[in-house]
C-alpha cells in the first residue's frame, strides 16, 4: 500500500521473453497472436484500429530480413474504469528467410530465423483521473485504498497474470517449446505445418 500504487500510477504484473530459433511460419504466428488479442478485447479486428505502434522491416542481400513490431495493447477490465490492463508486445525477428520444407511428403513454404517476443504487462490505476481530479473523491481515496481498492487490485493482478501467461502459452504451443503447464489444443498447427489428411 505504497505511494506509487495511488491514482495515476502503474502496478507491474509480469514481464517475460520467448525466444525461438528454427523453422516457423511468421504469417501464421502473427495472425494467431493478433486473433488472441482481438478475442481478449485488447484490440479491434480491423487492422486500421489495431494498436500496432510500429512495424519496421529491413531486407538484406540473399532474401534475409529483420523485423521489429510493437503492439501497445490496452483494455478496461469488466465492470470498472478505475483500472486499465496494459500489455506491451515487442517482436524482433532476426536473420529470417523464406524456405521450403517437406513435412509428411508435402512441400510447404515457411520461414527460418530467430524470433523473440518480449511481453510486459501492468495495471494502470485511475487512468482517466476520475479519483485524482474529482473535488470530493480525492479526499476519500486513502481510506478507500487501504480498505477496498488495494485488495481489489491484488485480485485483478492475479486474473491479468493468468491472461498474460495464457498469451505465453499460445506462443510456446505454436512454436512447440517446453511449457510448465499442460498444453491446450491449437486452432492452427504447430509451426504452421498442417497434418497429412
Does the global pTM surpass 0.75?
yes
How does pLDDT run across 13-60, given as a tens digit for each residue? Answer: 999 999 999 999 999 999 999 999 999 999 888 878 899 999 999 999
Which H or E run includes 137? Answer: helix 137-144
In the numeric block, the cell 518480449 is attached to 118
84, 74 Cβ separation under 8 angstroms = yes
Asked whether residue 158 is domain-assigned, the answer is: yes
The alpha carbon dihedral of 21, 27, 32, 34 has a sign of positive
The total number of structural domains in the chain stands at 1
Q: What is the pLDDT of the chain when averaged over all its residues?
A: 85
Asked whether residue 195 is domain-assigned, the answer is: no
Asked whether residue 34 is domain-assigned, the answer is: yes
List the grid coordinates of 192: 504452421
Q: What is the C-alpha end-to-end distance of the chain, expressed in Å?
A: 57
Asked whether residue 194 is domain-assigned, the answer is: no
Distance CA 172, CA 177 (A): 5
List the grid coordinates of 60: 538484406
Residue 8: which domain range? 3-184
Mean pLDDT of 127-149: 78
Asked whether residue 189 is domain-assigned, the answer is: no
Percent of the chain surpassing pLDDT 70: 87
Asked whether residue 191 is domain-assigned, the answer is: no
User: What confidence tier does 145 reach under pLDDT thresholds 50, 70, 90?
Assistant: confident
Asked whether residue 193 is domain-assigned, the answer is: no
Amino acid at each position: 500500500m505504497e505511494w506509487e500504487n495511488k491514482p495515476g500510477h502503474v502496478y507491474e504484473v509480469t514481464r517475460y521473453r520467448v525466444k525461438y530459433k528454427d523453422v516457423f511460419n511468421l504469417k501464421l504466428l502473427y495472425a494467431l497472436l493478433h486473433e488472441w488479442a482481438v478475442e481478449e478485447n485488447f484490440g479491434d479486428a480491423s487492422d486500421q484500429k489495431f494498436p500496432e505502434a510500429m512495424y519496421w522491416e529491413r531486407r538484406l542481400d540473399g532474401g534475409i530480413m529483420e523485423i521489429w513490431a510493437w503492439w501497445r495493447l490496452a483494455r478496461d477490465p469488466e465492470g470498472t474504469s478505475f483500472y486499465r490492463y496494459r500489455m506491451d508486445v515487442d517482436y524482433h525477428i532476426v536473420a529470417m528467410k523464406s524456405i521450403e520444407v517437406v513435412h509428411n511428403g508435402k512441400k510447404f513454404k515457411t520461414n527460418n530465423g530467430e524470433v523473440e517476443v518480449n511481453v510486459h504487462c501492468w495495471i494502470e490505476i485511475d487512468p482517466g483521473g476520475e479519483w485524482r481530479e474529482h473535488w470530493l473523491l480525492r479526499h476519500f481515496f486513502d481510506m478507500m485504498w487501504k480498505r477496498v481498492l488495494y485488495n481489489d487490485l491484488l485480485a485483478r493482478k492475479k486474473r491479468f497474470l493468468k491472461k498474460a501467461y495464457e498469451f505465453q502459452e499460445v506462443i510456446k504451443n505454436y512454436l512447440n517449446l517446453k511449457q510448465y503447464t499442460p498444453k491446450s489444443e491449437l486452432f492452427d498447427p504447430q509451426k504452421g505445418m498442417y497434418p497429412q489428411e
